[in-house]
Chains A and B, each alone.
Chain A
């Protein structure tokens, strides 16, 4: 694993859930051709992964990792393109991009490091923060209900929808591996406790359980995704031609 880790200074908080996601990603790509992988990140705690991992990466703008990834994939379909993005990154700032990427079935993998808050700007609510979230901009609690990313992605047309839990590294690595191999838009929500501002380890350890999926039935997948308990695993998978399969056909006619 060492060859995939750069000798740079890691500035994630000790105990941060990002460390597990980093390990899981390295495990998932360890046996793949490194030169054919590109990691694209947005901005936020998650995005620091670009400074730590020894593979091609593009450390982009807040919320805009996905459109960069689309250009990369359409320009060279032989590359595996992975986006590391955050809940604030892709479900606040860049929500239009993730919905359209799911709708198009772009052949890219999006990993959402979901820590339920804007951590790097010191604890503000994001669109996945629970109602009542007390942050620096909502001292009396957020008055907004959260988005359920799994529900939104299934509804938007993603063809691979999964959830992982950061500390369950092997389980997550396996999901990332399958997501990369999937031909189409792969979405992984990673439940990632934020040790500094929203420490959910104890709660998640109680509620998280492994679901043995996937189903190709949207209704079933939505039922699982909206449970109060926290199932993790691949919820939904469907085979259909990706955006790039159809787009690049024009060029070979």
Chain B
């Protein structure tokens, strides 16, 4: 039997609901629960309404349910918006210095914080302390978690939490379920860690929600070079500067910034200079709804950049996959000297998951020049891959270029040599497609014999897995989106006569990609209000 709890903690921006949500997740995680946190916030710094929905379960989770076990209200708006989601209306823990209810657990957070000499922002600590008591946690256990979560003003925070803990009552006791504790990480962090595992040397980016977390995370990693560029165009071009001298670099952005990188993507293809980009999708078009989710950059990513060329595109569906496939994106970009794009989406970028990484290396390595004879940057070889040498090498003159070129790297305009170099790259793309087809490109979950299958990609994987299990149907999750894994997809589709697409978009872009490859979906279930699918919503679909 699945043991699980859902908790909403909310308040105006600036009240610390996100931090409080993280601590609650840590309280559960320490008892062996698997965690998923959905972050819902607006594009503002103070005010409005933000909330985190923490789901803790004995099973791996990556999705949310509509009904929750607890609401923790830092302000009255949270109570009025989310109370109706409570299974039991008494399970609301609220800041009684701000408003009062006839039921629930009042916490005089302002008073408690003042008594203990804390700052206004620490009222969230009081509510978390009270929650620990409400769910019957041992104080010493809770204290250990708080100590770790509050590296600054540790003592004050613990005193506030303890005062609130003492003044609250226990409504139920959550059991410890396992000794195995998994690290909690966001998709942004997992993507960054995967890139580091593949030898990332540098990260250059311009801030844009929801990919900013990668820049912030990598900024405090010691061994690599990180800087913030003046815009996304500069970021992508600087990444290729690093690549040109043999350093592995990456950039990250969202749809609008990705659009600015289009020309650089084509430069990467033409100059055969590795370029790795994370595109954290959000609700568009244009500025759209910056802090809400969407999967509507798929076709843009697949076709970005002028000219005829190939690219590697992966769309991980959770943090474990973000880790593995971002490493793979780097390795592939370096072996085949082409652009490599990792598509994430807001709920994966900023959602928090229990992680279990596989640190194994992909074993995919670039071809390096052995130093014999004259160096030709664009040497024609059997597999179309020209060995790499880098400036600084006494024996090589390295010529990278955006122009069509000869083998040395000098501009050409005559028909023979134009075709010759196009053919060289085609040869390389063939090898690239062959190698990619040997990778794990498509996941299949649920009832593998079911004639009905749902197809879902990106963060929707989480909710689709639970839907497939609940309805006893098959789930097909493509991870590699380009080159399109046709063989693996057809294998996954064997015996399926009813194919339902789940996508966070208005038009169903995956259905268009599938139909380009001769695969037609029977039905599209789309959500395009920026919010995630809930399990409740999907299990009603037939």
Chain A residues within CB distance 8 Å of chain B: 6, 8, 34-38, 40, 43, 48, 50-51, 54-61, 64, 66-76, 78-79, 96-97, 99-100, 247-248, 250-251, 253
B230 touches A97 (CB 8 A): yes
CA distance A54 to B374 in the complex (A): 13
Confirm or deny: B403 has a beta carbon within 8 angstroms of a beta carbon on chain A. yes
Known: A60-B267, A100-B230. A54 touches B244 (CB 8 A): no
Q: Are A67 and B234 in contact (CB under 8 A)?
A: yes
New A-B pairs, 18, CB < 8 Å, besides A71-B240, A75-B247: A35-B393, A51-B410, A55-B397, A59-B401, A60-B237, A60-B267, A67-B237, A68-B244, A70-B241, A71-B245, A75-B201, A75-B202, A75-B225, A76-B247, A79-B245, A79-B392, A96-B230, A96-B234
B225 close to A6 (CB less than 8 A):
no
Closest CB of chain A to B170's CB: distance in Å?
A: 48
Identify which of residues 200-226 in chain B touch chain A, using a CB-to-CB cut-off of 8 Å: 201-202, 204, 222-225
Chain A minimum-CB-distance residue to B266: A61
The 3 closest A-B pairs by CB, nearest first: A71-B241, A71-B238, A67-B237
Contacts of B237 in A (CB 8 A): 60-61, 64, 67-68, 71
- Nearest Cβ on chain A to B387's Cβ, whole angstroms: 16
Residues of A within 8 A of B234 (CB): 64, 66-67, 70, 96-97, 100
Contact: B392 with A71, CB < 8 Å? no
* Cβ-closest chain A residue relative to B399: A57
Give A116 to B234 CA distance when docked, in angstroms. 25
Q: Which residue of B lies closest to A243 (CB)?
A: B227
Q: Which residue of A lies closest to B201 (CB)?
A: A75
Measured CB to CB, the closest approach of chain B to A186, in angstroms, equals 17
Assess whether B411 is in contact with A59, with CB atoms less than 8 Å apart: yes
Instruction: Indicate whether B334 reaches chain A with its CB closer than 8 angstroms.
Output: no
CA–CA, A97 to B393, complex, Å? Answer: 28
Contact partners of A73 in chain B: CB under 8 A: 241
Q: Which residues of A contact B267 (CB under 8 A)?
A: 60-61
Say yes or no: A35 contacts B391, CB within 8 Å. Answer: yes
Q: A105: shortest Cβ distance to chain B, in Å?
A: 13
| Shortest distance between the CB of A32 and any CB in chain B (Å) | 13
B264 an interface residue at 8 Å Cβ cutoff? yes
Take A59-B411, A75-B201, A97-B230 as given contacts and tell me if A248 and B241 are in contact as well, using a CB distance cutoff of 8 Å: no
Interface assignment of B190: CB less than 8 Å from any CB of chain A: no
Taking CB atoms and an 8 Å cut-off, the chain B residues in 408-437 that contact chain A are 409-411
Chain A residue at minimal CB-CB distance from B220: A250
* Distance, CA A96 to CA B230, complexed state (A): 7
Which of the four size classes fits the interface of chain B?
35 or more
A247: chain B residues within 8 A (beta carbon): 225, 227
**In the complex, B229 has a CB within 8 A of chain A:** yes
Q: Judging by beta carbons under 8 Å apart, are B245 and A51 in contact? A: no
Cβ < 8 Å to A, chain B residues 50-82: none
**A96 x B222 contact (CB < 8 A):** no
Main secondary structure of the interface of A (DSSP, over half): helix
Please give the distance in Å from B259's CB to the nearest CB on chain A: 15
With both beta carbons as reference points, the residue of chain B lying nearest to A42 in the complex is identified as B402
22 A-B pairs with CB atoms under 8 Å apart are: A35-B391, A35-B392, A35-B393, A35-B394, A59-B271, A59-B399, A59-B401, A59-B402, A59-B403, A59-B409, A60-B237, A61-B267, A64-B264, A66-B234, A71-B202, A71-B239, A75-B202, A75-B246, A76-B246, A76-B247, A96-B231, A100-B229
Q: Distance in Å from the Cβ of B456 to the closest Cβ of chain A?
A: 37
A250-B222 contact in complex given A50-B401, A58-B400, A61-B402, C-beta closer than 8 Å: yes
**Contact residues in A for B249 (Cβ distance below 8 Å):** 71, 75
| CB <8 Å contact, A248 and B225 | yes
Q: Which residues of B lie under 8 Å from residue A72 when comparing CB positions?
A: 241-242, 244-245, 391
Complex: A43 Cα to B267 Cα, angstroms: 12
Expressed in whole angstroms, the Cα–Cα distance for A60 and B222 within the complex equals: 30
CA distance A54 to B242 in the complex (A): 21
A43 to B402, alpha carbons, bound, how many Å?
9
Task: Give the residue of B230, B240, B399, B410 whose beta carbon is less than 8 angstroms from that of A68.
Answer: B240
B149 at the interface (CB under 8 A from A): no
- Bound Cα distance A100, B394 (Å): 32
Closest chain-B Cβ to A122's Cβ sits at a distance in Å of 17
Contact status of A74 and B227, CB under 8 A, knowing A61-B264, A61-B402, A68-B238: yes
Task: Report chain A residues within 8 Å CB of B202.
Answer: 71, 74-75
How close is B263's CB to chain A, nearest CB, in angstroms? 6
- Measured CB to CB, the closest approach of chain B to A136, in angstroms, equals 23
CA distance A75 to B243 in the complex (A): 9
Distance, CA A2 to CA B227, complexed state (A): 39
Q: How far is the CA of A66 from the CA of B224 in the complex (A)?
A: 21
Least Cβ distance of A86 to chain B in Å?
15
CB-CB under 8 A for A76 and B400, given A59-B411, A97-B234, A251-B223: no
